[in-house]
Structure 1
Amino acid sequence: MPKSALDAFDRKLLALVQRGANRTADALAEEVGLSSSAVLRRLKRLRDDGVIVATAAVVDPLKVGKPNFFLAALEIERERPELVARLRQWLAAEEGIQQVYYVTGTADFMLVVVAPDVGAYDALMSRLMAENPNVRRFTTNVALGVGKRSLFVPVD
């Protein structure tokens, strides 16, 4: 769906459900100024069109064992499409890798990785290197604290 196909009601709904996807249709309708049924139809269309790709719970890391967050920068040997596609598939299949960005600069990929400890992170990255020979090297930054954690996308 092109950006222009989203009207003001769609944008307001997207902003609201990004901040709290568990709101009822009645509550959303009241805030947006539509009927509950219109809100439900719009949300269904936004899902069907791939604008809303998932609904997820945001978990407080401190309440589930305080995992560590690592920011890894990967450099690859060759940017041949089939090698990059294979690496992307591998990265997407790993639960501990929360986010993957294909970037410009000295690194080719930036990863946000969550692991219970440094040993588990090291094991994951050792597997990554062993199973993906196109990865030349990686560098790691350890998050000492989290100032903000969000997947909110402005829709104004």
Structure 2
Amino acid sequence: MAEIAEKITLDATDLRILDMLQADASLTNQALAAAVHTSPATCLRRVKRLRESGVIESLVALLSPERLGAGLTAIVEVTLDRQGAEHLAAFEARAVAEPSVQQVYRVSPGPDFVLVLQVADMPAYHALVQQLFTQDANVRNLKAFFSVFRAKFAPRLSLPTSAPPGP
């Protein structure tokens, strides 16, 4: 059962903090506070609230797949034979547990899942297919798309320019 996220009220300062952290999550609290025109104590308190509320899920470093030997990106559509809740959950758990699977989406209509994979090369892709899909008797169909050029990769959310009006 999916959790319903509790709506959090964000003001203009919260939005500036989020915008700055999306651009550079390595900013010190002092630098972040200066950039959003607030005191370091206020900034720290707000970031803590944004993390505790789940608005900030995590702070990460984005790495270059090519420079680290993982230059093949595949977007894979997966259709299962049986779509009962337990079958969907079982496949999802296997996909999520695989480190080469970067993103997992249940989708509708069409395939049951869309996965984004990052592997070294085609032999590594074939090994992953064998392990994750071929050995699963419930996987009916796969359709893979291979990236030949990444024009944009920006895991950044568009934020409102100002806080929405209150109730």
TM-score of the superposed pair, with normalisation by structure 1: 0.92
In the other structure, the counterpart of 1:148 is: 152
RMSD over aligned Cα, in angstroms? Answer: 1.6
Give 1:56's aligned amino acid. V
In the other structure, the counterpart of 1:32 is: 36
Give 1:61's aligned amino acid. P
> For 1:100-111, what aligned pairs fall within 5 Å after superposition?
100-111=104-115
Q: Where does the alignment leave 5 or more consecutive residues of structure 2 unmatched?
A: 161-167
**1-side partners of 2:79 and 2:66: how far apart?**
31
Give 1:26's aligned amino acid. Q
1:42 aligned to 2:28?
no
**1-side partners of 2:79 and 2:157: how far apart?**
28
**1-side partners of 2:13 and 2:47: how far apart?**
11
Counterpart selection for 2:99 from 90, 95, 99: 95
Q: Per-residue CA shift, 1:10-63, capped at 9, x if unaligned? A: 121111101110011122112212111111111111111111111111012232
**1-side partners of 2:132 and 2:70: how far apart?**
23
Counterpart selection for 1:127 from 125, 131, 153: 131
Q: Where does the alignment leave 5 or more consecutive residues of structure 1 unmatched?
A: none
Greater fraction of residues in helix: 1
4+ aligned runs moved over 4 Å, structure 1 = 1-4
Q: Per-residue CA shift, 1:71-123, capped at 9, x if unaligned? A: 11111112211111111111111110011111123222111101101111111
In the other structure, the counterpart of 2:163 is: none
TM-score of the superposed pair, with normalisation by structure 2: 0.86
1:113 aligned to 2:113?
no
1:81 aligned to 2:85?
yes
- 1:133 Cα deviation from its structure 2 partner: 2.3
Counterpart selection for 1:8 from 12, 30, 33: 12
**2-side partners of 1:123 and 1:61: how far apart?**
18
User: Measured at CA, do residues 66 and 128 of structure 1 come closer, stay the same or move farther in structure 2, by a change above 3 Å?
Assistant: closer
**1-side partners of 2:83 and 2:149: how far apart?**
33
